[in-house]
A and B are shown apart, each in its own frame.
Chain A
Amino acid sequence: MHLPCRTFNETYEQDMAIVRTRLQWILLAAAIVFGLCIPLFTGTYMLTVIITTMSIIIAALGIQILTGYCGQLSVGHSAFVAVGAYSSALLVSQSGLSFWIAVPVAGIAAGLVGLLVGLTSIRLKGFYLIISTLAAQFIIMYVIIHWTSVTGGSFGMSAPAPKLGGIEFATTQSYFYIVFIALLIATYVAKNIVRTNVGRAFIAIRDNDLAAEVMGIHLTAYKLLAFFIGCAFAGIGGALAAHARGVITPDSYTLVQSFWYLGYIIIGGLGTITGVFFGVIFVSALNNGLAMFLSSLSTIFPGAGSLLAPLMLVIFGLVIILFLTFEPRGLAHRWQIFKAYYRLWPFSY
């Protein structure tokens, strides 16, 4: 919104650019270089946490597009993540397909399932639409749990690590780079979708579907597109996480997980791409911080570690409520205020 001091837009191209000033380019480059260096100084455990967080961000970008931008509330996001995870795992381990093809295909598969669920959005709005995504959550997970011959049922199945021309990306370090690059691409794609014509159509539908129609926006087509894109991101995020862990079980894709995805974008801020990063990283940090605290506590009180999951539920639920009550625009909004404050740095007013 506000430009740094002494920066003026003279052409529409400049006005539209995401990365506008030289400083922003430098910061972006620095961030990418820093990202690439992460494996050099973190341990395997920490790196796994980071990889998981990054794949969650990719999936959360999907729900941000679907719910945050297009306004189609989804309470079944983790089921679409599951579709991606299982498709990719099946394609690699059963059909022997290469990881590099399986992941995009998994994304498309999840997107298509999403499209099917999205068909209900043509007639349903608001609370009634929640039901169809909730139904998707239950029905998809029912199929995964009970189709034991294919999915291994509640015992789960394995998702082999990727290979590229004989080189196995078995180490956490090498897998980090795959996910990191995927995250960069996903962010770039998401940002582009939401700031061009397609994104404007999504927001138009979210804010006022009647007016959107009068402006010539094909409601059905764009709602379905939002479902496809949102669920495709979920699928790709799910597939990447699955291969990172090596094993997948249905209990990582419960309704509670779907609520977590909604929580990420509430905490980060609905309708912003940056917000997704803030939301997921915030919750992930909270979760891991709490885990560390409890495990250190369990030396004094044995059994404190088993409190992690329920305690995290309480804290997460409370954080969602607090954000909705006191900072409904999420962390991204705080970040905007912070940036505006340092706009004239080093001479702040």
Chain B
Amino acid sequence: MVSEDKAKLKLEHLHLSFGGVHALIDVSLDVREGEILSIIGPNGAGKTCILNCINGFYRPQQGNIYFEGRDITRLQSHKIAGLGIARTFQNIELFTGLSVQDNLLAGRHFYMTGGLVGSILGGVYLGRTHREEVEQRRAIEDIIDFLEIEAIRKQVVGTVPYGLRKRVELGRALALGPRVLLMDEPMAGMNLEEKEDMARFILDIYEERVNTIVLIEHDMGVVMDISDRVVVLDFGRKIAEGKPSEVKGNPDVIKAYLGKAAA
């Protein structure tokens, strides 16, 4: 499945610093079409910074990011989303005032072209905007079904429990119809059972919906079991890269991150 040379997402020599603190130092990495790539490393190593650079929250001082061959380094976030890069957040960033269904519909924002005039005139019973709404409802129902969140479809997100919220957030990212999915600690704060569910969803998504996934995760069990390749960061530098088994045995990684227990 993994094609060696086809880089879906290519990061070249990224440098990022905030007022003297170097968050990323000369980080280059490829995300290949059809793989699950995990990024691991101690806290503050710059993992989330990489995701923030990819989707345009941060502008790296040096270096470039290419998506399917196109330079996206200086694009605005919403444009990058439009190209097909979706993400989830470490601390669940949902639209708490909207229902689950509307959160997912917000993810379909890009597919709705009716605009203001359409929504004023045709929002209810007539016109293209209305047809569009119906169409998108169909599309998100598919995702709702896929993630098994039918029961909370109309609940306001603020009242949904934590584990399910993570799932809703994933659903919203999927609603974008992405070609690359970036996930920031999808398993954080979950118990084993919930982690298993999440792992199952990730694998299903990988098989059926998005064939390129970038994962940041601390649970080494999950990382080693489901990823095709692993990248290790420490103090903003990439210190290792390779198959899970290779990374696991790398002495630098053990010293900086895994500790004695894993050896």
Instruction: Tell me, yes or no, whether A193 is within 8 Å of chain B by CB.
Output: yes
Who on chain B is nearest to A190 by CB?
A: B120
Do most interface residues of chain B lie in helix, strand or loop, or is the interface mixed? helix
- Per-residue contact bits, chain A 192-213, to B (CB 8 Å; 1 contact, 0 not): 1101111111011011101111
By size class, the interface of chain A is: 35 or more
A-chain residues with CB within 8 Å of residue B132 when the two chains form the complex: 197
Given contacts A17-B125, A196-B114, contact A211 B134 (CB under 8 A): no
The 9 A-B pairs with the shortest beta carbon distances in the complex, nearest first, are: A192-B123, A216-B81, A196-B119, A211-B93, A207-B95, A213-B77, A197-B112, A12-B137, A196-B123
Instruction: Tell me, yes or no, whether A164 is within 8 Å of chain B by CB.
Output: no
A-chain residues with CB within 8 Å of residue B118 when the two chains form the complex: 196
Given contacts A203-B95, A203-B97, contact A215 B116 (CB under 8 A): no
Check if A197 sits within 8 Å of B77, measured CB to CB: no
Do most interface residues of chain A lie in helix, strand or loop, or is the interface mixed? helix
Instruction: Tell me, yes or no, whether A146 is within 8 Å of chain B by CB.
Output: no
| Complex CA–CA separation, A18 to B81 (angstroms) | 31
B-chain residues with CB within 8 Å of residue A225 when the two chains form the complex: 116
- Per-residue contact bits, chain A 135-152, to B (CB 8 Å; 1 contact, 0 not): 000000000000000000
Check if A201 sits within 8 Å of B78, measured CB to CB: no
Check if A207 sits within 8 Å of B109, measured CB to CB: no
Check if B102 sits within 8 Å of A200, measured CB to CB: yes
Given contacts A196-B133, A204-B98, contact A216 B119 (CB under 8 A): no
Question: Which A169-210 residues sit within 8 Å CB-CB of chain B?
Answer: 189, 192-193, 195-201, 203-204, 206-208, 210
Check if B105 sits within 8 Å of A215, measured CB to CB: no
Instruction: Tell me, yes or no, whether B249 is within 8 Å of chain A by CB.
Output: no
Within the complex, what minimum Cβ distance (angstroms) separates A61 from chain B?
13
| Complex CA–CA separation, A203 to B56 (angstroms) | 22
Within the complex, what minimum Cβ distance (angstroms) separates B132 from chain A?
8
A-chain residues with CB within 8 Å of residue B93 when the two chains form the complex: 208, 210-211, 214
Given contacts A207-B95, A207-B97, A225-B116, contact A200 B106 (CB under 8 A): yes
Within the complex, what minimum Cβ distance (angstroms) separates B83 from chain A?
9
Instruction: Tell me, yes or no, whether B176 is within 8 Å of chain A by CB.
Output: yes
- Most interface-central of A207, A218, A219 (chain B CB within 10 A): A207
Within the complex, what minimum Cβ distance (angstroms) separates A231 from chain B?
15
Instruction: Tell me, yes or no, whether A217 is within 8 Å of chain B by CB.
Output: yes
Check if A193 sits within 8 Å of B86, measured CB to CB: no
